[in-house]
Amino acid sequence: MAPLPPARQCEEAEMLLLLQVMNIDLDFLTAFHIEVDVLQNFQFEVYCHYNNIPLHNFQHCFCVTQMVSNLPTPPCGSLGPSQTC
């Protein structure tokens, strides 16, 4: 996965697009058997329900997701719901 710009340099629409790219790169669409439009709708609903407060806001959500997406994968491989280590 290519490095992403810091969240403070991104507009919220760009963060939504980058979240989509992260989820596609992590193969979530295949692992969870969902279509791109379902992913987009889910991400938009998450975005719409975040409060605009100093810490736990959508920018924080993006930062946490970005950091977690860069963690090494577990030795068992897939992040799919039926996969166990």
Catalytic residue status for 60: no
Residue pair 29/39 in contact (Cβ under 8 Å)? The answer is yes
Output the CA–CA distances (angstroms, integers) from residue 23 to 17, 51, 55, in the order listed: 10, 23, 23
Catalytic residue among 33, 49, 56, 60: 56
Report helix angle 12-25 to 58-69, nearest 10.
30
d(CA 40, CA 37): 5
Residues recognised as catalytic: 56
